[in-house]
Amino acid sequence: MVGAGTMGAGIAQLACIGGFETWMHDPDPDALAAGETRIAQGLAKGASKGMWDEDEAAAARERLHLAGELEDLGECQLVIEAAPENLAVKRELFAKLASICGPHAILATNTSSLSVTAIAAGTERPERVCGMHFFNPPPLMRLVEIVSGDDTAAETAEAATEVARAMRREPIQAADGIGFVANRCARPFTLEALRLLGERVSEIDQIDRIVRIGGGFRMGPFELMDLVGVDVNFDVARSFWEQSFHEPRWQPHPIQARTVAAGRHGRKTGRGYYDYSQGPHRPDDPPLPEATESPAYADPVRFDGDGFAAVNLGDAAELAPPGPLNTLEFSEQRHSIEPERLVYFLALPSLSESTVVELARGPQTSDSALAAAGAGFAAMGKHVECVLDYRPGLVLGRILAQIVNEAHFAVGQGVATDQDCDTAMRLGFNWPRGPFEWGGAIGLRRAVAILDALHRSLGEERYRVSPLLRRRAEEEPQPERS
């Protein structure tokens, strides 16, 4: 193991517990000593939590050896580096390792953003170079992306996969594309949230609340950016955009640049998109209301060309006070509903399964119609969120549609399989569903409808539909009519 920081020591700990004699090197003696202490503490903590017993921890500790010089790694069959994310630094390091280690040694990089092919170009044996991208902190995060560069031999990737499994991790296979799998599929989670904010469709706290309650995510996109670091997230966004020669889907948002320039870098500075100086940055999410009515129709609710269902709230006399739930009727044709009674709603993955119903006004929607719709959905036991402005997909639908789209682009370009994309997001980011699982839940036709409507209304190429997604959507069975 080259590097004894948080990532390096964490990976070395996994190697020791996996049964491998492990040599750890760091050019800084103090960092090497600190890494040794971190590993000892990690093994002891794991034993106290029942992850392994004390005898296993003691045996693992005996497998750790400190390497004061890089040359001490000469007999190692596998070397994993966790050096700074700098291509020149990594290429120089790999060239040295290739000259030190035997001809059959595998050299693996833990890079999260650099090209494995470019790193391997610094050696004379690029077929023995691969990526082993662990997630932070390695002892707690089960995912490892095994990345094959252009010249990586199949047996190299297979050996790295076996090692990851011995470390008690879950390996997935990835081609050497920008962001590999997990970081790529995660891009829309924050970028679409920023666009929703910039277009004044919704506000920060509401976007996060909808994503948490409605999507089942542990935190909303703005909370996540604050946790990771707004500056770090912005740097990653710029890296994706620049490496892709300005792919529109990956374009950073000016809000990111403005927030970073203001020094609001997130939790580490006390303020990001939220203020952390006065205790909890947000209130607890409200409980779901108690259901008092049952819907008088069956799932799936019909939706129009933008992926929405339109709500007709019946006779004007029933609008004040809000009428009973059975006044709600659903129509696929917007023009069939009087404009003042038109309310758009979106409930994902379906109305029966949803916990949040998002509402949006039409151009002439009355306050009483909006209130009646909200009361009706609350009577079903749904949390209701009225967004500021209408856009196809509203909040959760728009974010999920782009997540589904990005994953289909990745698979269509041969970066990973459907299953590995889902595994990456569930294990690497603790998502409740992977992108293809989300696609199955909300329906590929609905995702395409939302994206096409966004493309029409906004005229932006970032909403073009992946050819693979469109083909699969066309093959998807038509929903039953209710």
Q: Rounded to an integer, what distance in angstroms lies between the CA atom of residue 119 and that of residue 78?
A: 16
Tell me whether residue 133 is one of the annotated catalytic residues. Answer: yes
* Bridge pairing between strands 106-109 and 129-134: parallel
Q: In this structure, which amino acid lies at residue 16?
A: C
User: In this structure, which long-range contacts are made by residues 425-428, counting pairs with CB atoms below 8 Å and at least 24 apart in sequence?
Assistant: 425/182, 425/185, 425/186, 427/135, 427/141, 427/142, 427/143, 427/170, 428/135, 428/141, 428/143, 428/145, 428/181, 428/182
- Relative orientation angle of helices 396-412 and 187-198, to the nearest 10 degrees: 140
In sequence order, which residues have a C-beta less than 8 Å from that of residue 162 and are 6 or more positions away? none
With tokens 């909040």, the residue in question is 395
State the catalytic residue, choosing from 183, 202, 233, 366.
183
The closest alpha carbon to 80, from 184, 169, 185, 177, belongs to: 169
CA distance 299 to 442: 12
Whether 127 is catalytic: no
Catalytic residue status for 183: yes
Cα distances from 130 to residues 20, 74, 82, 91, 153, in angstroms, run: 19, 18, 13, 13, 9
Amino acid (one-letter) located at 286: P
Choice among 145, 358, 406, 437 that is catalytic: 145
145 labelled catalytic: yes
Residue of 25, 110, 112, 239 marked active site: 112
With 0-12 / 13-18 / 19 or more C-beta atoms within 10 angstroms meaning exposed / middle / buried, residue 368 is middle
- Pairing assessment for the beta strands 329-331 and 342-346 based on DSSP bridges: unpaired
Of these residues, 133, 253, 383, 408, which one is catalytic? Answer: 133
| Three-class SS state of 271 | strand
Cite the active site residues: 112, 133, 145, 183
